[in-house]
Structure 1
C-alpha cells in the first residue's frame, strides 16, 4: 500500500520541474546543459521535502533519467497515489471557524478533489467576502475578508503566477480594545488554478498567521 508523503504544493513543484526538464530534453543540443538541468531539477525536488525515506528519494530522482513525453507523463501519474489529502473537514467544522457568519455561503465539499488542495477557499458573492481555511499544525485556521476585483493582471501572493487578481482585505484586531486595522494582499481570482499552481506555502502561511483571529 502506498504511503502518502507528497503535499499538493510539492506535487506542483515536481510538475513544474518535470515540464522544464521535458522541454530541455526536446530543445537542448548540448548534452552538458541537459545533464545540468536534470541534476538541478532533481535537487530542487528533493530539497522541497524535509524527511524522505531512501525509496521515496529514489522515486523522485527518477526525473533524471526521463527522455520522452510519455516518460514524463508516467512519472507524474506514478506519483499520484502518494499525494496527501487535504485533512478531512466538515461543513459544521467550517461554520465553527466563522461563528459570526451564520448565513454565509458554504463550499460544496463533494465537488472538490482534495488531493490537489493546499488551502480551501470560496467567495460569498452576496457579501463580497472571501473565506480561506488552512490546516496548520494539526488545526484549521479560518480567515475572511473583503474581496475586490482589480480587473488587472499581476502576481498572486499565494502561488506567484501572473494572473487576474483581486485585492483581499482582512481586518485584524490590535492590542487596544475596539481598535482594528486592515491587511491587504493581491491574490488570484480563481482559487482552483491557484491551488494547482502553488509550489511553496511560505507566503500563504505568513499572511494567514499575520491576520488569524
Structure 2
C-alpha cells in the first residue's frame, strides 16, 4: 500500500483513534463503546474522497485498539503511509519570496521537515512571518506583518489555545488596482507548534487563497 495521507490527515486520524480508545474508558456498556469506535472510524474515513480497501482496513483498526500499547502500534502503522512535506531549501525560499532579500530557510532536520503540515517562521526584527504550504497542488509562500499579543488565544489554523499573534497582509482591492485592503488572522506565534496540531488545512487553504486572489 502506498502513502496516502498528509500530515494533517494523520493528526486527525490519530486524534480519532485516541477519542475512541480513551472515550471507551468512560463506560462499561459495550454497545456504547462500539458505537463510539464506529463513529470515530467514520469520521476518520470521511476526510478522504475515496479509499482503497486496504486503506479503509487500516483506519478500521481503530475498532480493535484496547490498550495504550495497541494505540502506539496503530500510530506507528499510520506513519508508514505518510506523504512527506517537501524539503524546503534556500533556493525554494528565494523562488517563493523573490522580493525578500537575503531570506533563508529555517534550519530543520529533513525528518522533522517531512512531518510538517506547513512551514512557518518569524523575522522578529522586521515583525514579519513567512509561511510555506502545499496549496492547490504546489508549494506556495505568503508573508505578512506579525504582531504577537500578550495573552493566549485560539489559533485560526490549529484551533489550539496557544500564544498567538496577528498575521496581517495587504491585498489589492478587487476592481481597483490602486487600493488595498488588509486581511488578517490570529495564529500561533510558534509555527512548529501550530503545524504539529493542525488536523485540517481548510482554514489555512482559505487564508492563502484570499491572500493570493
Bin the TM-score by the shorter chain. Answer: over 0.9
Task: Find the aligned partners of 1:50 and 1:95 in 2 and give their Cα distance.
Answer: 34
- Which residue of structure 1 lines up, in the alignment, with residue 9 of structure 2? 10
Give SS of 1:4's match.
coil
8 Å Cα contact 1:135/1:141 also seen in 2 = yes
Contact 2:89–2:105, Cα closer than 8 Å, also in 1: no
Gaps of 5+ in 1: none
| Runs of 5+ consecutive residues of structure 2 not aligned to the other structure | none
Is 1:178 aligned with 2:178?
Answer: yes
Scaled by the length of structure 2, what TM-score is found?
0.93
Matched-pair contact (CA < 8 Å) for 2:121–2:190:
no
- RMSD (Å), alpha carbons: 1.7
Distance 2:89 2:103 in 1: 15
Q: CA deviation at 1:151?
A: 1.6
Aligned to 1:187: 187
Change (3 A) 1:103 1:114: closer
CA distance in 2, matches of 1:112, 1:139: 20
The residue number in structure 2 matching 1:148 is 147
8 Å contact from structure 1 (residues 155, 162) kept in 2: yes
Q: Is the 8 A contact 1:105 1:124 kept in 2?
A: no
Secondary structure (helix, strand or coil) at the match of 2:25 reads helix
Separation (CA, whole Å) in 2 of partners of 1:157 and 1:177: 28
Query: How much has 1:91 moved relative to structure 2?
Result: 1.7
How many residue pairs align between the two structures? 212
Runs of 4+ in 1 over 4 A off after TM superposition: none
How does the TM-score come out when normalised to structure 1? 0.93
The alpha carbon displacement at 1:87 in A equals 2.8
